[in-house]
Structure 1
């Protein structure tokens, strides 16, 4: 099986080049100097890792020359004479394509794995080598960015942000409760003051004659009515402000819900379940055919095993050194040859069993594609239904509010008109009382003004309390004291969740570290890196430690250049096998070529075996002045 790669306008490559890579092998890319070998590596890296979301990965893409510096008007990967760069990888019917404009606008991006930039490359510019060359032994990004700890960290940041929001809301509610309490206390004091003023006013009125008392009684009643109406108006204004605020929030919420539904409709429409089923069924049929062919071949080999084992048994019994070939029945065959033939056919049976197992695993992966897409679609549809319910509730509530607002406005207007009429009546009564004792009238007027001022303040307080007596939690308006309790319980839950997430982050970091250390130890044994006893990540701060023979600690900064490249090779192969086994690509430049022939041969042999076992495309680049263009061919392992 082969993968077709097309690269257009990438770095030093102007125009389009295309080549094929063979799966299950080490593919050698040979190129003369300045013909785009580095650009080829960058192009492959981009299409296998885009899109880039994590800030750490974005910085790595900038360091590798895949993205331009922040604020730059030119995307680094695009040829300086062209408007865009395009890279595609076609494997069977699956096409991954990355197209980016020279200004950095991504026109098309595959569903790549951005971790490929950290674990899928072994080049002179990769993160591991850059760090080793500077002597920096802090490799915590291995467990933070490549393991599932990264998922829990993103979740932890979201929960932390949510906690910050809830804590802010709780603080606002507590301030609101405090303000309401202070206002109510002020109202209580004003009411006592009003009672005192009213009593003083009553005492003065007793000193007036009966006729004047009647006039004053009318004024009193009018003032009481006016003050009551003013209080009612302030209450209604507070209610009106709350309704208007709720209306704005509902309209914003509906707009957001509709935008979300539009986005969800696009996502749902893009999930073509039937096509995926057909593709999966087609792939399963192909795999079943391959499995059946392998089973037939295995049965044939097993028959040959049984046939030659019978001959072997007869020769042992008769103590014969030669026997007639059981296949052709003509030539003679020795005991050693019979035994070797049995072993040969048994090995073929074992290889076929391994191939059948891999094909069955591949079938199961195909089944999971349908399950995953159906789950995604169902999740989008559930969210869409919830958004529709939310819109329906908001529309119903808006309809009610739009009916209530004109009613409140009209009520305020009517009460204001009544106040104006009563004020006019007061003016008439005031004219009638001008002939009364001016000193008493002035005192009465002053007390009435004081009473009016107090009543107005009380009305303002009632309006304030009416406006802020409800707190919106979610889509429900409730008492601020209840909201404060809800926010407190919410914060308690979020604190517990954050503690759990911190534990999970630590657990997955440790699990990733242990697995990484085990993998690199096994790889060192296989590749016979005997100059080191151990290369591992520490448990406390995830620093890379290197121990020479006799477990002598060797600081990274003191390693020779060749030793740093050797350790980088161990690290990158381990990262690839540990964290990205399902991505069938591993890209290597001339780093390995600087090793001695024995080590280079062992590494290439190991990579070739891994390519066969895992069905990978291993790509190794090499400079050569013996060619005049880029050539791609399977590497001959000697």
Structure 2
């Protein structure tokens, strides 16, 4: 036997205990007497769904507890109108056995379980049910996540490849232009040699060679300058980022210190305020307990006052204590407290007054709770800010050190940049001198030859400018490409990145195989059992029940249930009546329990077997008693036959 204890759960206010025996437990009561509250309390031990918690906690209380024997416990609390559990203090079924994590979906056949809700909406999705109980749902979630990652990675790679393709086209153009420059320089040298031969002046050839060498030196320095400028820009950005972070942290610290001159004193004030409200609540509770006690006495007096006669058992004349008890109760229509006369209206008025007072006290207690919660939240917010302030001060020191380091690196690279710029300036000056020498050397050259030389030199200059522009464009395109090494070919980069994509594709393939295995394995397990379960429970409407699979590109895309009547007529699940669908839903959940959590000790059914005839109801219960240690079923009872909730044991 297990003892179930519910405190402030559903319609139960305060602590209520129930004995759950091995075998069949039938919870019988009129409507609104706590049948569903009791079952939802048990469900909380197998659930981490806040919807279940919200439906379970008593509306008039902000905390509740469910205990089942000494092994399982769930604490609920309402915070800002949201009902939450406290996992650190709880011990649930799935804490004991991780394989029982799906127990709520399998072993609880209630109006709010997914299967029953979907059947009520004529939308029972067999594939979704099979996935949720078999583990395929988790595999599918991982599969969707990996497919999304692959899609994002492919899209980004396409963008990177497009940038890299453009960059490498520019590099190809640069190589072509460099070839054109070499060709033009060769032609220039040939022309200069001809001119020297005609004019007998060799200076022009020497000066031209020196000028070409100087241009190459300047071009190399410009390349170094381009790299250094990138480094300077990067360190400058890092410095500015660190400086901005430092300024932002300083502003936050100043704002906090202006708002709270003494945070520690504010926190002590919050604590004092909390103690005040807790004392007020304690006093209110003491008053409510007294009112509740008096109300209990008045209620009993009211009930006894309404008796027209009181039957004294024969044993009272033989047992003195029993005789004394009945004498103390007084006569009907007398007040059992003072033995004086009383009228019904006076008792009714007093009872109503006490009820109203108890309600007001409960409301005031909840108000004190809310005040305490708000103060605690404010205090926690302030404490978090104080902790955050300390962290910000540490972050400020870190940001200051980072800014100083970045500024030092920035200065060092800027010095190098300045040195390169000075060297370029010197080389440019030397180049200008060489150009003047070249111009002097060509003064005696024929006009036609000089114009041709100038035209060639202008073409070379044009190519050089275009090469510089292409380098800038390449820098812009490749700076956005992660893991790219300068000089790496398009094929090498694509091959490197495709390795990561191939790993994702391989993982997706494995998950697809695992998903198919889970779903098809589950379908086979269900098909192996559902007919036997259906007939062993005493159902005879269908001769055969089978889950059928529809596939898309070789993967299960949907599942349907096909039933065959004794006449040979076949129907799909959606064409059956609501009662027939509920019967099959129950069969599926029992099959899921046998297949996936056979050792789970409970099977709970709330109000969903009321359509069965008595004989079939008994057969179903007997079958379930062999599949779960504790079978708990709710049954409505007419108010004329039964006032309160009662647990009956066994089938009869």
TM normalised by structure 1 equals: 0.58
Asked if 1:142 is matched to 2:142, the reply is no
Q: 1:574 aligns with which of 574, 584, 591?
A: 591
Deviation at 1:87, TM superposition (A): 4.6
Deviation at 1:594, TM superposition (A): 3.2
Asked if 1:591 is matched to 2:597, the reply is no
Change over 3 Å in CA distance of 1:620–1:431 after alignment to 2: same
Asked if 1:118 is matched to 2:105, the reply is yes
Asked if 1:128 is matched to 2:115, the reply is yes
* CA distance in 2 between partners of 1:102 and 1:621 (Å): 35
- Which residue of 1 is the match for residue 223 of structure 2? 231
Task: Name the SS of the counterpart of 2:420 in structure 1.
Answer: helix
* CA distance in 2 between partners of 1:99 and 1:37 (Å): 22
For the 8 Å contact 2:537–2:619, the answer to whether it is kept is yes
Per-residue CA deviation, residues 297-328 of structure 1 (Å, 9 max, x unaligned), is xxxxxxxxxxxxxxxxxxxxxxxxxxxxxxxx
Per-residue CA deviation, residues 589-626 of structure 1 (Å, 9 max, x unaligned), is 12213322211222223333433xxx335353545536
For the 8 Å contact 2:75–2:85, the answer to whether it is kept is no
- Which residue of 1 is the match for residue 418 of structure 2? 413
- Which residue of 2 is the match for residue 24 of structure 1? 22
* CA distance in 1 between partners of 2:643 and 2:111 (Å): 22
- Which residue of 2 is the match for residue 311 of structure 1? none
- Which residue of 1 is the match for residue 632 of structure 2? 618
For the 8 Å contact 1:471–1:479, the answer to whether it is kept is no
* CA distance in 2 between partners of 1:179 and 1:490 (Å): 23
Aligned counterparts, 1:117-516, within 5 A: 117-136=104-123, 138-168=125-155, 170-172=157-159, 174-195=161-182, 198=185, 222-237=214-229, 410-423=415-428, 451-452=460-461, 454-459=463-468, 461=470, 468=478, 481-492=491-502, 494-516=504-526
Task: Name the SS of the counterpart of 2:639 in structure 1.
Answer: coil
| Cα RMSD after superposing both structures | 4.9
For the 8 Å contact 2:34–2:645, the answer to whether it is kept is no
- Which residue of 2 is the match for residue 88 of structure 1? 66
Task: Name the SS of the counterpart of 2:52 in structure 1.
Answer: coil
Deviation at 1:545, TM superposition (A): 2.1
For the 8 Å contact 1:136–1:556, the answer to whether it is kept is no
Asked if 1:34 is matched to 2:39, the reply is no
For the 8 Å contact 1:238–1:464, the answer to whether it is kept is no
* CA distance in 1 between partners of 2:5 and 2:451 (Å): 100
TM normalised by structure 2 equals: 0.57
Asked if 1:633 is matched to 2:633, the reply is no
For the 8 Å contact 2:530–2:591, the answer to whether it is kept is yes
Aligned counterparts, 1:46-57, within 5 A: 46-50=44-48
* CA distance in 2 between partners of 1:630 and 1:226 (Å): 101
Aligned counterparts, 1:504-583, within 5 A: 504-540=514-550, 541-556=558-573, 559-583=576-600
- Which residue of 2 is the match for residue 336 of structure 1? none
Structure 1 alignment gaps of length 5 or more? 52-60, 68-74, 248-399
Deviation at 1:200, TM superposition (A): 6.9
Change over 3 Å in CA distance of 1:479–1:25 after alignment to 2: farther
Task: Name the SS of the counterpart of 1:530 in structure 2.
Answer: coil
Per-residue CA deviation, residues 418-477 of structure 1 (Å, 9 max, x unaligned), is 2234445666778899999699999988876764553354345457668949976699x9
Task: Name the SS of the counterpart of 1:49 in structure 2.
Answer: coil
Deviation at 1:406, TM superposition (A): 7.3
For the 8 Å contact 2:6–2:15, the answer to whether it is kept is yes
For the 8 Å contact 2:7–2:64, the answer to whether it is kept is yes
Asked if 1:607 is matched to 2:624, the reply is yes
* CA distance in 1 between partners of 2:508 and 2:416 (Å): 51
Task: Name the SS of the counterpart of 1:592 in structure 2.
Answer: coil
* CA distance in 2 between partners of 1:88 and 1:581 (Å): 24
Change over 3 Å in CA distance of 1:623–1:182 after alignment to 2: farther
Change over 3 Å in CA distance of 1:469–1:138 after alignment to 2: closer
Deviation at 1:559, TM superposition (A): 4.0
* CA distance in 2 between partners of 1:536 and 1:31 (Å): 37
Per-residue CA deviation, residues 171-229 of structure 1 (Å, 9 max, x unaligned), is 34533552343122111122133335545766887879778888877765554432221
* CA distance in 2 between partners of 1:123 and 1:245 (Å): 61
For the 8 Å contact 2:119–2:578, the answer to whether it is kept is no
Q: Which has the larger radius of gyration?
A: 2
* CA distance in 2 between partners of 1:479 and 1:424 (Å): 38
